[in-house]
């Protein structure tokens, strides 16, 4: 049923040609390079073989997820006795697994079900996305439009930090969160005492995400027309007013696409949660709980499959409903204009 919902949502968006729209908007920027193609339909060279190959690959790509979907609606006995693809002959499906995963719990799932972990995921993801995009936007404006002496150096420095794998900061940051900073026995910075709280998980996400977020938003903010900002300045507006009245409203599409990017990235993260959630269920997000379930239950698919499905339903919904922004954000970061 979930899948049906997905398919309809997604067929709707397919019809609107959302990805195509993003691509077209990208093309508009580049039209001076050569005559851009108006649309696919104008192309005389469509190939049925290409269509067939792509269709087959698309189906192959979807089968694994589809298998998980079917499995999560099958009874325990059915799951262990035969493959999910054989279930289409008997059509013996049940919602029992979802009741266990969402509300009832089970001997293996614990008595909590998945909902508390989903709320943990939100409590990590929402602050992390808002703060990283918020601080990133402010910094991008400052780097693009506030002239100061080391502007270039700060820009390149921030960009270079993108190249630091987060593996490099896990241990020192964790030590910092639990024990502050000591130099030669003196406490230079006191402990933040946040280990085991949500802040200990979302704060690293903000820190790790900022260089990329700032860079992507900077790409956009720095391309705003100079005349517009100059005109506002001549009218007596200062940086705070220009930011609030001009830059912020104009950046909404860029912010949206980067926020979705960040949302998916943080929601889907495992490593940061594993290190900073402090090993307690109180702040563990869905991914962490799911990784533990997959490890400890191994083959208890009547629990693992619906749990996995629950965990991917939110990012998939975000993705399909906001696909246009998402793809645009992706392109902003990767295709050089």
Partner 1 sequence: MITWSSLFETSWPKIAQILLVLAIFFGFYGIAFAAGARVRGKSQNKLALVLFLGPAIVLALTGLGIPAVQTFIESFKNADSSKWVGFANYTRAAKDPDIRLAFFNTMLWIIVTPLITTSIGLALATMLNKMKREALAKSLIFMPMAISFVGGSLIWNLMYQFQEPTRPQTGLVGQIFMWLHLTPQHLLLWSPWNNFFLMVVYIWGTTGFGMVILSAAIKNIPADIEEAAQLDGASGFRLFRTITVPMVKTTIIVVLTTAMVGTLKLFDVIHTMTGGNFKTDVLSNRMFDEIFVYLNNGRGSALAVLIFLGVLPITYYNIRSIRAERNN
Nearer to partner 1, 64 or 225 (CB): 64
Contact at 8 Å (CB) between 282 and 196? yes
End-to-end Cα separation, the chain, in angstroms: 42
Contact at 8 Å (CB) between 258 and 275? no
Nearer to partner 1, 49 or 91 (CB): 49
* Binding flag, residue 117, partner 1 (CB under 8 A): no
Q: What is the DSSP letter of 42?
A: G
Q: Rule CB under 8 A: which of 124-143 touch partner 1?
A: 126-127, 130-131, 134-136, 138-139, 141-143
In the complex, least distance from residue 160 CB atom to partner 1, rounded to whole angstroms: 6
Q: Which of 6, 22, 13 is nearest to 256 (CA)?
A: 22
Beta bridge partners of 38: none
* Residue choice 30, 223, 231, 296 for contact with partner 1 (CB under 8 A): 30
Q: What are phi and psi of 166, to 5 degrees?
A: -65, -15
* Residue choice 243, 276, 277, 303 for contact with partner 1 (CB under 8 A): 243
Only one of the segments 87-95, 209-217, 223-231, 251-259 lies at the binding site for partner 1 (rule: CB under 8 A); that segment is 209-217
Alpha carbon 216 to its chain centroid, in Å, reads 15
Interface with partner 1 (CB under 8 A), residue total: 144
* Dist. CA 298–CA 200, nearest whole Å: 30
* Binding flag, residue 27, partner 1 (CB under 8 A): yes
Q: Rule CB under 8 A: which of 276-315 touch partner 1?
A: 287, 290-291, 294-295, 299, 301, 304-305, 308, 311-312, 315
* Residue choice 112, 182, 187, 280 for contact with partner 1 (CB under 8 A): 112
> To which residue do tokens 């506002």 refer?
232
């Amino acid at each position: 049923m979930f899948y049906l919902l997905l398919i309809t949502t997604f067929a709707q968006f397919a019809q609107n040609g959302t990805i195509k729209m993003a691509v077209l908007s990208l093309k508009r920027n580049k039209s001076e390079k050569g005559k851009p193609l108006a649309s696919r339909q104008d192309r005389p060279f469509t190939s049925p073989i290409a269509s067939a190959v792509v269709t087959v690959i698309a189906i192959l790509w979807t089968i694994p997820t589809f298998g998980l979907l079917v499995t999560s609606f099958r009874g325990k006995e059915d799951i262990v006795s035969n493959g999910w693809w054989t279930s289409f002959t008997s059509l013996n499906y049940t919602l029992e697994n979802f009741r266990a995963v969402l509300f009832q719990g089970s001997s293996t799932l614990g008595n909590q079900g998945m909902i508390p972990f989903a709320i943990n995921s939100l409590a990590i993801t929402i602050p992390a996305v808002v703060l990283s995009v918020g601080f990133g936007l402010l910094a991008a404006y400052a780097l693009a439009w506030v002239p100061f002496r080391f502007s270039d150096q700060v820009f390149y420095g921030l960009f270079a930090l993108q190249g630091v794998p987060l593996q490099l900061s896990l241990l020192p940051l964790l030590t910092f969160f639990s024990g502050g900073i000591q130099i030669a026995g003196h406490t230079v910075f006191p402990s933040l005492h946040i280990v085991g709280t949500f802040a200990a998980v979302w704060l690293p996400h903000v820190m790790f995400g900022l260089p990329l977020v700032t860079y992507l938003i900077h790409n956009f903010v720095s391309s705003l027309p100079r005349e517009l900002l100059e005109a506002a300045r001549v009218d007596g507006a200062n940086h705070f007013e220009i930011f609030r009245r001009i830059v912020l409203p104009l950046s909404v599409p860029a912010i949206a696409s980067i926020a979705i990017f960040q949302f998916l990235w943080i929601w889907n993260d495992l490593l940061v949660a594993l290190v900073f959630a402090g090993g307690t269920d109180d702040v563990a997000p869905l991914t962490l709980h799911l990784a533990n379930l997959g490890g400890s239950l191994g083959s208890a698919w009547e629990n693992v499959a619906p749990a996995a499905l629950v965990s991917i339903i939110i990012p998939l919904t975000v993705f399909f409903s906001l696909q246009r922004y998402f793809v645009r954000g992706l392109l902003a970061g990767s295709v050089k204009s």
